[in-house]
Amino acid sequence: MRKKIDFHIIKKLDLFTLNVRCGFDSGVLVVRGESGAGKTTLLNCIAGLCAPDEGFVSIGGETVFLRNAREARIDRPVRARGLGYLFQSYALFPNMTVEQNVLYGLRNKPDYRDRARRKDLLEYADYIMETFGISGLRKKRPGVISGGEKQRVALSRAIVTKPGLLLLDEPFSALDEETKAVVYGEFKLFKERFRIPTILITHNDAECEMFGDHRMHIKAGAVV
């Protein structure tokens, strides 16, 4: 029986072959490893931003990717995988305001075309922005806000669409120590309140201990 979030990624890279299998139903899976261990490639394979050579990805019990010698192939495009991705550099659209960034994904939802349902979506977005303390930044461009604020905007943007899986690529690495302490606290609250199945990758042991409900250490593409 497959878990709600289940994946097996096999991909040949320049120096080694990435071969990672894991499954969990809820909580945060922390994948720890040194730089170059294949962590970001693993996330990109799950997201569909790069294609594994073999394996499967299942999100919320639905198979979004499948490739092996026997079974039929499935490869849903990134946009149809129903996930949220927080990039290491946050990747906030510099040409849009904070509010436009947060609302960006909502406009792709079929519900957004229905006036009544759109109201609900926008109310939820307001709630998220309020929760993350970024309501006051709505009209600002990402270029003029602090690192911690960028991180909160990026997280709001990733979860406002209610993804079935949240992928966090070293979400704390770009922050200074002082901001990090605050953001750690916020992230704990976020984790408790939203309970979105999450894969967090980091090279920091403390973060792994702090946030991991499930933990995995990878080295040169393999689980150790």
Partner 1 sequence: MDFAPIVLSLKIAGVATVFSFLLGNLFAYIINKKNIPGKNIWETVLIMPMILPPSVMGYLLLIVFGKRGPIGAFLLERFGVQVVFTWVGAVIAACVVSLPLMYQNVKAAFLSTDPIYEQAAMTLGSGEWRIFRTVTFPLAQPGVISGVVLTFARALGEFGATLMIAGNIPGKTQTVPTAIYFAVEAGRTETANALVLIMTVFSFALILGLNAWLKKKNFYR
Binding site for partner 1 (CB under 8 A): 47-49, 77-81, 83-85, 87, 89, 91-96, 104-105, 108-109, 141, 143-144, 157-158, 161
In this complex, which beta carbon is closest to partner 1, that of residue 6 or of residue 169? 169
Stated as kind and residue range, the H or E segment containing 40 is helix 39-47
Q: In whole angstroms, what is the distance from residue 197 CA to residue 7 CA? A: 13
**Closest alpha carbon to 106 in 41, 158, 180:** 158
CB of 130 to partner 1, least distance (A): 21
Of 106 and 175, the one with the shorter C-beta distance to partner 1 is 106
Cα–Cα distance measured from residue 73 to residue 150, given in angstroms and rounded to the nearest whole number: 38
Distances (CA, A) of 177 to 17, 172, 180, 197, 204: 34, 9, 5, 27, 13
182: which DSSP letter?
H
Q: Which is nearer to partner 1, 7 or 208 (CB)?
A: 7
Measured CA to CA, the distance from residue 10 to residue 20 in angstroms comes to 7
Nearer to partner 1, 173 or 220 (CB): 173
Nearer to partner 1, 165 or 208 (CB): 165
Residues 61, 44: Cα–Cα separation, whole Å? 19
Closest distance to partner 1 from the beta carbon of 165 (Å)? 11
* Token pair in block for residue 223: 């689980």
User: 189: Cβ–Cβ under 8 A, 6 or more apart, which residues?
Assistant: none
Residue 184 or 194: which CB sits closer to partner 1? 194
Smallest distance from partner 1 to CB 155, Å: 13
Output the smallest distance, CB 42 to partner 1, in A: 15
Least distance in angstroms from the C-beta of 70 to partner 1: 28
Q: Where are the beta strands (DSSP E) in 13-132?
A: 17-24, 28-32, 54-59, 62-67, 74-75, 83-86
Residue 157: CB minimum distance to partner 1, A: 7
**Which residue, 91 or 210, has its beta carbon nearer to partner 1?**
91
Q: Give the nearest distance from C-beta 1 to partner 1 in angstroms.
A: 28
- For 79, the token pair is 């946009």
